[in-house]
A and B are shown apart, each in its own frame.
Chain A
Amino acid sequence: MTATALSRSAGNPPSPGERFGKHVLFTCAALSALLGAAVIVVVALETVRFFGQVSPARFFGGLTWTPLAEEPGFGVLPLVAGTAQIAAGATLLALPVGLLTAVFLRYYASGRTASVLNAVVTLLACIPAVVYGYFALNYVTPAIRSVWPGVEGFNGISACLVVGLMILPTIVLLSREALGAVPNSLLEEGVALGATRRRVLVRLVVPAAAIGIAGSVVMAAARAVGETMIVTLAAGNPTGPTWNPLEGVRTLTTFLAQASLGDIPAGSIEYGACFAVAAVLFLLTCGMHAAGGALMARGQRGNPGAARS
């Protein structure tokens, strides 16, 4: 990084054509920054306008979310709770499978197996969310109901399972990156000292990568928080708040998707509510993304030291 910074003044003086090329690149960067800023500013502005109509205390403190009722409730907490329920469930389901797959890929799979498994994980990551949603509603839910008839047609379990499947590649690929930062010598030294491979993996290697793995989990959970189509299709949108995973779940994202199906007049209070919910979603996922990224970076940096000690 510093080397690149030092070299900024290096090189021959640019010709007019090269200066033009630099201007083109600068324009690209400026436009990208502008586009990103426009997204942030428009969400922020509409949210501020919404807070002119509904006080932030009512929004963050209220316990009912019924924007279309005669006496509308604009408490966002039930939506946040639904989101947390889905994200936590999905992450808990995906973590063991994802971490074990990553360990398997890094320490057990041989060339051929590893490349097939890699391709499978990459393909899973490519499948669009709406296809997963279709699968959840029409195959996973009936399968769950056939063994457990008490489950409703729209339910949180099916959503958790399939969102878990969707974030699985994130956990596998990022955890493998975290494990990759652990030097191979750690495993070799441990085994040379007479410990079993399993013991070295469980006691030394995975703990050494723990911070990076935690980062990968936070990144995956952030994706689960933002997941819209699977949750909308599989968990539906019951009218009241619910804590029962056997019933439908209402999340920040399903509210947005359901609101878009009806026609919301611009400037109305429901329109503002959509932006306020989007702002919450934005801050939540941004925060998690940044935290996950920081953890992963710390895992990468910390690892040579962790291996020495």
Chain B
Amino acid sequence: MSESRRAGAGVAIRGPIGAMGVAAALVTMAALILLTGVLLVEAREVLDWRFFLDPPSRVAAEGGVGPALAGSLWLTLLVAAIAVPLGVGTAVYLAEYAPPTRLVKAVESVLTNLAGVPSVVYGIAGLALFVRGLGLGPSILAGALTLTALTVPLVVVNCRKALRAVPDEFRWAAFGLGASRWQVVRDQVLPAAAPDIVAGCCAALLRAVGAAAPLLMLGAVSFTTFAPDSPNDPLTALPTQIFAWAARPQEGFLALAAGASVALLLLMAAMHLVLFAHRRRQRGTSA
């Protein structure tokens, strides 16, 4: 009976459901701690400055993630530069401008469904479209375009949600004061939705940066001796590098795979920091 004392949230854990909930939450937390702990312990011998700059090597102890890290940076920048404006623009058009015709509805539902398609399917489509169709070969650019195809639907879906969350009263009030549609979107809707839009774009980009399967389908290389310095250079990236090392049973490569995983997670954390910096700046300007 004691468990029925309070009905609101934030009560002490009582009763079997609460205990099972605690257990489930602990399993979830333990999984994360175990995963990151294992990565850090395994990677501790390879992690130094040299590791982030050197190319991979046949001798495990001499290997590094230099080219793969550079490749992932290229991919991040290119995808962010192409997919984010494209996706946000699409979402704004669909939410604020598009007439409710059948074609527009079809485009919306196709993009929504594409957001649920596994990344490996984009890989094989990218192989036919960009690597072979446009003759780009397995280059950084082909990888960036493939990841763009994967990211745009995610950005659109996330931004649609953000725009939908802006109450219509905002729009009505601005229209009532004589604002044009562009002014309504620019001055009312976008600022109100901005935090969710940035978070949604960030989530989509994080998925793109961590995607290994599509790059594998395109023919990413994992043993290149030089870092890519243009979008036309051979495709190499951290996720495919991790895959190549993780599957090698020889001693030493496990540590490299763990090190590369840490490098990838650090890259993703850096992207998160950019998001936080943006949020803080926004809070600063609006205050």
Whether A198 sits at the interface, judged by CB under 8 Å, is yes
Contact, CB under 8 Å: B23 / A100: yes
Contact, CB under 8 Å: A130 / B120: no
Whether A133 sits at the interface, judged by CB under 8 Å, is yes
Whether A32 sits at the interface, judged by CB under 8 Å, is yes
Contact, CB under 8 Å: B107 / A33: yes
Residue in B closest to A229 when the chains form the complex, CB atoms: B212
When distances are taken between beta carbons in the complex, the residues of chain A under 8 Å from B29 are 117, 120
Contact, CB under 8 Å: A135 / B35: yes
Whether A69 sits at the interface, judged by CB under 8 Å, is no
Contact, CB under 8 Å: A187 / B110: no
Q: Please pick, from A18, A22, A104, A278, the residue contacting B21 in the complex, using a CB distance under 8 A.
A: A104
CB distance from A35 to the nearest CB of B (A): 5
When distances are taken between beta carbons in the complex, the residues of chain A under 8 Å from B13 are 108
Q: Please pick, from A46, A226, A233, A274, the residue contacting B119 in the complex, using a CB distance under 8 A.
A: A226
Contact, CB under 8 Å: A103 / B246: no
Whether A85 sits at the interface, judged by CB under 8 Å, is no
CB distance from A47 to the nearest CB of B (A): 11
CB distance from A210 to the nearest CB of B (A): 16
Q: Please pick, from A39, A228, A275, the residue contacting B118 in the complex, using a CB distance under 8 A.
A: A228
Chain B 116-142 against A: per-residue CB contact (8 Å), 1 yes, 0 no?
111111111100110011000000000
Contact, CB under 8 Å: B152 / A36: yes
Whether B16 sits at the interface, judged by CB under 8 Å, is yes
When distances are taken between beta carbons in the complex, the residues of chain A under 8 Å from B4 are 191, 194-197
Residue in B closest to A165 when the chains form the complex, CB atoms: B31
Whether B10 sits at the interface, judged by CB under 8 Å, is yes
Contact, CB under 8 Å: A18 / B120: no
When distances are taken between beta carbons in the complex, the residues of chain A under 8 Å from B86 are 28, 31-32, 35
What is the size, in residues, of chain A's interface with B at 8 Å between Cβ atoms? 107
Contact, CB under 8 Å: B243 / A229: yes
Residue in B closest to A17 when the chains form the complex, CB atoms: B182
Contact, CB under 8 Å: A289 / B113: yes
CB distance from A49 to the nearest CB of B (A): 11
User: How far is A164 from B172 in the complex, measured between Cα atoms in Å?
Assistant: 46
CB distance from B41 to the nearest CB of A (A): 11
What is the size, in residues, of chain B's interface with A at 8 Å between Cβ atoms? 102
Q: Which of A164-209 contact B (CB under 8 A)?
A: 165, 168, 172, 184, 187-188, 191-192, 194-198, 201-202
Q: Which of A1-60 contact B (CB under 8 A)?
A: 3-5, 7-8, 10-15, 18, 21-22, 24-29, 31-33, 35-40, 42-43, 46
User: How far is A198 from B96 in the complex, measured between Cα atoms in Å?
Assistant: 45
CB distance from A48 to the nearest CB of B (A): 13
Whether B1 sits at the interface, judged by CB under 8 Å, is yes
Contact, CB under 8 Å: A36 / B180: no
Contact, CB under 8 Å: B246 / A100: no
Q: Please pick, from A39, A101, A139, A261, the residue contacting B122 in the complex, using a CB distance under 8 A.
A: A39
Contact, CB under 8 Å: B182 / A257: no
Whether B181 sits at the interface, judged by CB under 8 Å, is yes
Whether A239 sits at the interface, judged by CB under 8 Å, is no
Whether B47 sits at the interface, judged by CB under 8 Å, is no
Q: Which of B171-211 contact A (CB under 8 A)?
A: 171-172, 175, 178-184, 206, 209-211
Whether A227 sits at the interface, judged by CB under 8 Å, is yes
Residue in A closest to B126 when the chains form the complex, CB atoms: A39
When distances are taken between beta carbons in the complex, the residues of chain A under 8 Å from B24 are 96-101, 104
When distances are taken between beta carbons in the complex, the residues of chain A under 8 Å from B110 are 33, 36-37, 40
User: How far is A65 from B59 in the complex, measured between Cα atoms in Å?
Assistant: 37
Whether B80 sits at the interface, judged by CB under 8 Å, is no
Contact, CB under 8 Å: B120 / A226: yes
Q: A42-B128, A194-B4, A281-B118 are in contact. Are A128 and B212 (CB under 8 A)?
A: yes
Residue in A closest to B211 when the chains form the complex, CB atoms: A128
Add 5 more A-B contacts to A42-B129, A130-B239, A131-B39 (CB < 8 A).
Answer: A4-B95, A11-B175, A184-B8, A202-B17, A226-B119
Q: Which residues of A contact B (CB under 8 A)?
A: 3-5, 7-8, 10-15, 18, 21-22, 24-29, 31-33, 35-40, 42-43, 46, 96-101, 103-111, 113, 117, 120-121, 123-124, 126-135, 137-139, 165, 168, 172, 184, 187-188, 191-192, 194-198, 201-202, 219, 222-223, 225-229, 233, 253, 256-257, 260-261, 266, 274-275, 278, 281-282, 285-286, 288-290, 293
| Cβ contacts A to B, 21 pairs, < 8 Å | A4-B96, A4-B168, A14-B182, A28-B85, A99-B24, A109-B10, A117-B25, A117-B28, A120-B32, A126-B268, A128-B210, A128-B212, A129-B210, A130-B210, A130-B246, A133-B246, A184-B8, A197-B14, A198-B15, A253-B120, A278-B120
Q: Which residues of B contact A (CB under 8 A)?
A: 1, 3-4, 7-11, 13-18, 20-25, 27-29, 31-32, 35, 38-39, 85-90, 92-100, 107, 110-125, 128-129, 132-133, 148-149, 152-153, 156, 168, 171-172, 175, 178-184, 206, 209-213, 216-217, 219, 239-240, 242-243, 246-247, 254, 257-258, 261, 264-265, 268
